[in-house]
């Protein structure tokens, strides 16, 4: 089943996504899903999310972020690539 395949997504969130608790909220949301990866602020004002997991879990996780933080998000760029398996958990990257 396609929802069970492992995926990796790199997602850039644009808008007023720094200084609003975006990373901590993303970390809290991640605890509700079987995903691994990182979230970090970028120097250009964006937030970068790298997430790996089963396609259905990743899709639901990202939807939850957009639902809870959507008022701060002006744009989203998504790149999908093969998972690396390098993440053991989900954490904020500083």
| Residue numbers annotated as active site | 23, 41
Q: Which residues contact 47 (CB under 8 A, 6 or more apart)?
A: 12, 13, 17, 18, 22, 23, 26, 39, 40, 41
* Cα Rg of the chain, angstroms: 12
Read off the tokens for 73.
Answer: 């998000």
């Amino acid at each position: 089943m396609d929802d069970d395949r492992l995926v990796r997504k790199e997602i850039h969130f644009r808008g007023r996504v720094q200084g609003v608790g975006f990373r901590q909220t993303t970390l809290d949301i991640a605890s509700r899903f079987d995903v691994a990866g990182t979230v970090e602020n970028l120097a250009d004002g964006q937030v970068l999310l790298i997430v790996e997991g089963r396609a259905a879990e990743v899709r639901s996780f990202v939807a939850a972020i957009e639902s809870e933080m959507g008022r701060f998000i002006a744009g989203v760029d998504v790149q999908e690539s093969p998972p690396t398996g390098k993440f053991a958990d989900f954490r904020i990257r500083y």
